[in-house]
Amino acid sequence: MRFALLAVMLMLLASCGTTRHGSVLEQGEASWYGPGFHGRTTANGETYNQNDLTAAHRTLPFNTVVRVINLDNGKSVNVRINDRGPYARGRIIDLSKEAARRIDMVDSGIAPVRLVLVSSEQPIRTRGEGNIRREEFTIQLAAYHRRSDAEAYSSQIPRTRVATGEVDGRTVYRVYYGRYRSAADARRDLERLKRDGYEGYIRQVQN
């Protein structure tokens, strides 16, 4: 009996702050991006297609599906998160052109919206340091198609690690340096690395 009660308590603690499907995630301003980015690689390694129903969000896990409701006209559209952004102050989501067309905000460029959770491959937590609010950054120094090459490069630089990813159907092995709670902290280390002769760029870590 005691073990059963303990198991129930652990389950309740694990679910604390976890948002259920159909719950409102946040409310704010949406924008959209299209022609200038069409065909480029998104943050999750896909090729951006402005005609797909996708969107960029700063922290929601990739492949999360949210319903975006335009509060000006009540129109809504479901989009899948496959990119990072927007970084303009006050904006919470950046829609593909087609998604923006579906809720009639192409001409206005921006619109007040509400995000409702439809589905997610992992729990979405909104309280405290939940993953909808937590941002983490790293520095990418290199990418290889062979793990041995990535590990050889990583062995030369302390604090680096090798992570596996996929770009256009091909496996890539990226060499990352450090983990940071702000892009500013990552930028300071990147400048130091550049002075030491290493090139790289800052990217957001997938939640």
Kindly state whether residues 94 and 165 are assigned to the same domain. Answer: no
- Specify the number of domains making up the chain: 2
Specify the CATH number for the domain of residue 179. Answer: 3.30.70.1070
Specify the CATH number for the domain of residue 67. Answer: 2.40.40.10
**CA proximity to 180, closest of 207, 205, 155, 149:** 205
Kindly state whether residues 28 and 73 are assigned to the same domain. Answer: yes
Summarised one tens digit per residue, pLDDT across range 67-111 is 999 999 999 999 999 999 898 888 999 999 999 999 999 999 999
Kindly state whether residues 116 and 186 are assigned to the same domain. Answer: no
Kindly state whether residues 103 and 32 are assigned to the same domain. Answer: yes
Banded pLDDT at 5 (limits 50, 70, 90): very low
Kindly state whether residues 109 and 145 are assigned to the same domain. Answer: no
Domain span at residue 156 reads: 137-204
CA 138 to chain centre: 13
Banded pLDDT at 113 (limits 50, 70, 90): very high
Q: Please state the pTM of the whole predicted model.
A: 0.66
Question: For residue 98, what is the enclosing H or E element?
Answer: helix 97-102
Distance separating alpha carbons of residues 195 and 207, to the nearest angstrom: 30
Answer whether residue 92 is part of any domain.
yes
Burial degree of 50 (CB within 10 A; 0-12, 13-18, 19+): buried
Are 86 and 80 contacting, i.e. CB atoms less than 8 angstroms apart? no
**Domain termination residue (choose one: 61, 89, 120):** 120
Summarised one tens digit per residue, pLDDT across range 21-56 is 788 999 999 999 988 899 998 988 889 999 999 999
Distance separating alpha carbons of residues 25 and 5, to the nearest angstrom: 31
pLDDT of residue 162: 95
Radius of gyration for the alpha carbons in the chain, expressed in angstroms and rounded: 20
Distance separating alpha carbons of residues 57 and 117, to the nearest angstrom: 13
